[in-house]
Amino acid sequence: MARAHNFNAGPAGLPLPALERAQRELIDFEGTGMSIMEHSHRGKAYEAVHNEAIALTRELLGVPDDYYVLFLQGGASLQFAQVPMNFLPAGKSADYVITGGWSEKAYQEAQRLGTVRVAATTEVNKAYTRIPRQDELKLDPDAAYVHMTSNNTLFGTQWHWLPDTGKVPLISDMSSDIMWRKVDVAKHALIYAGAQKNIGPSGVVLVLARKEYVDNARKDIPTILRYATHAANNSLYNTPPTFGIYLLRNVLAYTKEIGGLDEVERRNRKKGDLLYTAIDENADFFRAPVAKDSRSYMNIVFRLPTEELEKKFVSEATKAGMIGLAGHRSTGGIRASLYNAVPYESVSKLVDFMKSFAKQG
Ligand code: PMP
């Protein structure tokens, strides 16, 4: 069987050893005569998997003890609403830094629930090609929180530094770059990430949140939407997506095995540098619209001289076994997502293909 060279933006490729482990354990999990999916979420077998997934998250990311690690549902999109519901009380306002389509959505959702401000936007003609500078952030010192998106999946920009928000809690949507490398969790009040790009299948959302922040959040919202509810119940308030969390456990166990996030970062930088170099070295044919200091290592976006050539590029690449290269429907162009599980060999194959395509084009 040949595995595809998978450049999908999410759901995305998962590490083969994590999938093979699931395959081995699928119908008989650890000699119990049933799959992990068929176990009670309150039984010993599942509980061990659940707690291992939490422990691995803590270990890999260096999550401080005064932070909760939660597994929730509803996608990152539910977080767009859940964050303001918990942390934006009447009489307060929240700051949003808009750097792409997803942060725009987060802002719009919060707008439905309370008072919000745009602290900065880098939008020009509906496109976002850079991350703002600190001196461009018009931060409200009394804001309930500042919301940012650490990596912009559609436009291929990424923050390579953390904004200084003073005493105002920082909340970050890390859906498309969680665990691409270590991050200073303690500088955030809350981090959320849909699992389906770097750490597992869709259906699981990882939340890291400062305990004190969660414990003092609003209580006048539905029980299931309170982070405090999930924290008090170790993410077992209701039935969690057990198979998704199990697979996430497999991915994190494998991530630890290969050397943790330092090794993950080294590999990701090597892959990203290879692809950006190929674009820059063929600048008469390929064009990277993103400002150099804002380039994403997860979603690498580039254009060809014409949309026709872009279509041909995607279709020929697909025939050659490289899938998921079409840009987002709202942006067009080419987008190669190089998440953690994309092997160097896939990027190297793409680069060879790009070089020969540029010659013939
Ligand atoms: N935020 C970011 C940065 C994303 O990339 C995505 C999905 N691609 C979302 C939020 C929405 O995630 P979901 O589909 O899990 O709700």
What residues does ligand 1 touch, defined as CB less than 6 Å away?
A: 10, 75-77, 102, 149, 153, 173, 175-176, 194
Contact 304, 312 (CB under 8 A): no
What confidence tier does 2 reach under pLDDT thresholds 50, 70, 90? confident
Atom 14, ligand 1: which residue's CA is nearest?
Answer: 75
In order, the DSSP letters of 53-85 are HHHHHHHHHT--TTEEEEEE-SHHHHHHHHHHH
Percent of the chain's residues with pLDDT above 90 = 98
- Give start and end residues of each alpha helix (H) in the chain: 16-25, 44-61, 75-87, 101-111, 211-215, 227-232, 242-257, 260-281, 307-319, 344-360
Mean of per-residue pLDDT scores for the chain: 97
What confidence tier does 331 reach under pLDDT thresholds 50, 70, 90? confident
Asked if residue 164 has pLDDT above 80, the reply is yes
| Residue 359 is among the residues annotated as catalytic for this protein | no
d(CA 56, CA 303): 39
Atom 2, ligand 1: which residue's CA is nearest?
Answer: 175
Asked if residue 198 has pLDDT above 90, the reply is yes
Amino acid at 328: H
- pLDDT (0 to 100) of residue 102: 97
Atom 15, ligand 1: which residue's CA is nearest?
Answer: 75
User: What stretch of H or E contains 86?
Assistant: helix 75-87
- 353: its two tokens: 């293909």
Atom 10, ligand 1: which residue's CA is nearest?
Answer: 76
What confidence tier does 108 reach under pLDDT thresholds 50, 70, 90? very high
Contact 213, 87 (CB under 8 A): yes
User: Are domains 16-257 and 260-360 of this chain identical in fold?
Assistant: no
- pLDDT (0 to 100) of residue 43: 98
Please give the angle made by the CA atoms of 132, 282 and 123, to the nearest 5 degrees: 20
Number of residues that this document lists for the chain: 361
- 317: its two tokens: 């690449």
Ligand 1 centroid to residue 356 C-alpha, Å: 34
Atom 9, ligand 1: which residue's CA is nearest?
Answer: 76
pTM of the shown model: 0.98
Strand partners of residue 194: 205
Asked if residue 16 has pLDDT above 80, the reply is yes
Asked if residue 285 has pLDDT above 90, the reply is yes
Task: Give the pLDDT confidence of 240-280 residue by residue, as tens digits.
Answer: 999 999 999 999 999 999 999 999 999 999 999 999 999 99
- Give start and end residues of each alpha helix (H) in 112-205: none
Contact 157, 130 (CB under 8 A): yes
- pLDDT (0 to 100) of residue 313: 98
- pLDDT (0 to 100) of residue 1: 76
Assign domain 16-257 to a CATH class.
Answer: alpha beta
d(CA 90, CA 111): 12
Atom number in ligand 1 closest to CA 151: 3
Query: What average pLDDT does range 287-293 have in this prediction?
Result: 97
Percent of the chain's residues with pLDDT above 70 = 100
Query: What average pLDDT does range 315-325 have in this prediction?
Result: 97
Ligand 1 centroid to residue 168 C-alpha, Å: 24
For CA atoms 342, 21, 53, 37, the dihedral sign is positive
List the catalytic residue out of 95, 177, 197, 271.
197
Task: Give the pLDDT confidence of 120-162 residue by residue, as tens digits.
Answer: 999 999 999 999 999 999 999 999 999 999 999 999 999 999 9
- pLDDT (0 to 100) of residue 117: 98
User: What stretch of H or E contains 253?
Assistant: helix 242-257
Rounded to the nearest angstrom, the gap between the alpha carbon of residue 22 and the centroid of all alpha carbons in its chain is 22
List the catalytic residue out of 95, 102, 177, 180.
102
Residue boundaries of the structural domains of the chain: 16-257, 260-360
Task: Give the pLDDT confidence of 170-187 residue by residue, as tens digits.
Answer: 999 999 999 999 999 999
Ligand 1 centroid to residue 189 C-alpha, Å: 20
> Yes or no: is domain 260-360 CATH 3.90.1150.10?
yes
- pLDDT (0 to 100) of residue 329: 83
| Residue 197 is among the residues annotated as catalytic for this protein | yes
Query: What average pLDDT does range 16-28 have in this prediction?
Result: 98
Contact 224, 237 (CB under 8 A): yes
